[in-house]
Amino acid sequence: MKKIIIFFGLIFFLSVTVSADTKKVKVIDGDTIHIGTIKYRFFGIDAPEIKQICEKDYKKVECGILAKNFLKNKIGDKIPSCITKDKDRYQRVVAECFIGNESLSRFMVREGYAVAYSQYSKDFVEDEKFAKENRLGIWSMSFQMPSDYRKASRNK
């Protein structure tokens, strides 16, 4: 039994540890990062697409860029640790990534720069409710859900 616990502990450690010496973080958008050569898609959330435009006070806002920069500022020069959940159809690792003990997925949703992707997980629904009630991030604007934006963009 002790060997099994040690084995799973080692697997967990390896799955969340990334060496800062050999890895660089690149923020792609509000829910996707690359650490070294590994592409991570954040589990349970959906952020505006890079080219997505929202509207606030009758002005166009590049909310996809806004979400990307918000995540980039949060990460700073730190290396997130990620727990793998799955792989998506684009061969990205679907993971929940953390800075210290803080989930980046939860952070992005709670601050209003991503929505809970409730089609796949209910984990961040309460965080979305908080952001929406407090009109944080994109909830202070008129916007199209990122999944609807992608569908509309494909049909053009």
Question: 156 burial class (0-12, 13-18, 19+ CB within 10 angstroms)?
Answer: exposed
CA distance 127 to 110: 5
Position 18 pLDDT exceeds 70: no
Residue 45, CA distances (Å) to 13, 36, 98, 112 in order: 24, 22, 14, 11
Q: Which residues pair with 94 in a beta bridge?
A: 41, 86
Position 37 pLDDT exceeds 90: yes
Predicted TM-score of the model (pTM): 0.84
Q: What is the pLDDT of residues 43-56, one digit of tens each?
A: 999 999 999 999 99
Do residues 68 and 62 lie in contact, with contact meaning Cβ atoms separated by under 8 Å?
A: no
Q: What is the pLDDT of residues 77-129, one digit of tens each?
A: 999 999 999 998 888 999 999 999 999 999 999 999 999 998 889 999 999 99
Q: Is 9 left (phi over 0), alpha (psi -120 to 50) or beta?
A: alpha
Please tell me whether residue 95 adopts helix, strand or coil conformation: strand
Q: What is the pLDDT of residue 9?
A: 45
Mean pLDDT (the chain) is 88
Domain ranges of the chain: 2-151
Do residues 93 and 41 lie in contact, with contact meaning Cβ atoms separated by under 8 Å?
A: yes
CATH number of 2-151: 2.40.50.90
